[in-house]
Amino acid sequence: MKQIHVGLLGCGTVGTGVARLLINNRDLLRARVGADLNLKRVADIDTETDRGVAFDPGVLVSDAGQVLNDPEIQIVVEMIGGEGIAKEFIHQAIQKGKHVVTANKALLAGKGNELIRAARKAGVELAYEASVGGCMPIIKTLRESLVGNRIHAMTGILNGTCNYILTKITDEGSAFESALAEAQAEGFAEADPTLDVEGYDTAHKLAIINALAYGMEINLSDIYVEGITGITPEDIDFAREFRYKVKLLAIGKDKGDRVEARVHPTMIRDSNPLFNVGENLNAVTISADAVGEMMLYGYGAGMMPTGSAVVGDIVDIARNILTGAGSRLPLLSYQPDAIRKIPVMPVEEIETNYYFRFAAADRPGVLSTIAGILGKFGISIASVHQKGRKIDGAVPIVMLTHRAREADVNKALAEINGLEAVSETPVLIRIEDENSD
């Protein structure tokens, strides 16, 4: 039986998952692929830690060169992460004519266009299913299953750490810091958790799937990003009263000659299928012309779920090698000459529904002044709620709006913030409600 040799660079959490699947499920994979996938070499600076997997002698080495320079290895799996040496090794592998599998969303979001050009030029595969949504086959779904569809919109919970933190605060009243510490202990937070909680990890993933869905180059820098660190238990409690939950969403929408690309905390109604996606789970809803609405759901991080996606990519490449199919799929879903530089809509131009919370003096006329300013900027109020009474006289006034333009909202909130009767910076949370006015 033909053997296909695989080399692994980096054997941390996900790398270990890949090694376990390739070794423990070797017979199963052989039966499905029709060739033996041999994990020939694994390079990691740590060759001591027990990965719970029985490597043959000489497989685990500290020198990446033993993977990159081995002419027998046809598939290199980059599991180092980050944008430094990982990029260098991927380029080296491509130059040597090796196919590459990676889960490195930060690298793809930042340098994906360059890496894809290099892979195309060398005629090799660059596979990256595990870079978005862990085990959820979102890349395959966009590139293959939905190839006949025009995609209208995607809305995703794409960061397990943020979803875990928001779920713990919502369901158990946990403190932000303790929920984050738990996510770190579970191993799904990034090495630098600010990438998670400030929304950048989600933005990396949105940049990748927007490119695939809409036929644009990967564009990270124009994505509007807001994390979850400003979300208070008070706002989560108000959300619950209105049958909303707060989720960190990645939103990518086709707007004709532009796309929306934004990441921010968002209130969603209990009728939204993302409402019950809790803990560290991920999900993405896709709206497309043929399928209507659909959703993918599963673990977006972790050793085995992410390892599963990587092994799926390895097998795709192995099957291409076996059948001589070459690079069967365009790396970025569209043919290179069909990929456009589609501009991202500035966030000031989006229109959506809003939740506002004001800390206002509890005296006659304040509410009407605030409502008057909103009216002046064309913002229509859907409901108003005033809660309790604080000792210093400031009370939270919560308003939900009909659809409004973000630029108008910004102007109105700036004016309201300047009122003597308003003691704190107003809180704004966008609401995603496709069924609203």
Binding site for ligand HSE (CB under 6 A): 159-161, 188-190, 196, 201, 300-301
A 10 A CB-CB count for 72 gives 11
Q: Which is nearer to ligand HSE, 173 or 187 (CB)?
A: 187
Residues facing residue 75 across a β-bridge:
6, 99
Q: Which is nearer to ligand HSE, 13 or 353 (CB)?
A: 13
User: Do the Cβ atoms of 120 and 336 come closer than 8 Å?
Assistant: yes
Enclosing H/E stretch for 422: none
Q: Cβ neighbours of residue 357 under 8 Å, at least 6 residues apart?
A: 234, 235, 238, 396, 397, 398, 426, 427
Nearest distance from C-beta of residue 190 to ligand HSE, angstroms? 4
Q: Which is nearer to ligand HSE, 41 or 204 (CB)?
A: 204
Q: Which is nearer to ligand HSE, 29 or 197 (CB)?
A: 197
Nearest distance from C-beta of residue 96 to ligand HSE, angstroms? 28
Q: Which is nearer to ligand HSE, 252 or 396 (CB)?
A: 252
Pick the closest to residue 328 from 98, 127, 75 (CA basis).
127
Nearest distance from C-beta of residue 245 to ligand HSE, angstroms? 18
CA 139, 140, 141, 146 torsion-angle sign = positive
HEC sequence for 50-111: CCCCCCCCCCEECCCHHHHCCCCEEEEEECCCCCCHHHHHHHHHHHCCCEEEECCHHHHHHH
User: Which 3 state secondary structure label does DSSP give 227?
Assistant: coil
Cα(236)–Cα(246) distance, rounded to whole angstroms? 6
Nearest distance from C-beta of residue 366 to ligand HSE, angstroms? 41
Nearest distance from C-beta of residue 231 to ligand HSE, angstroms? 16
Residues with active-site annotation: 205
The tokens for 137 are 């086959």
User: Do the Cβ atoms of 277 and 156 come closer than 8 Å?
Assistant: no
Query: What is the residue whose two structure tokens read 């030029």?
Result: 121
Nearest distance from C-beta of residue 104 to ligand HSE, angstroms? 10
Q: Which is nearer to ligand HSE, 7 or 160 (CB)?
A: 160
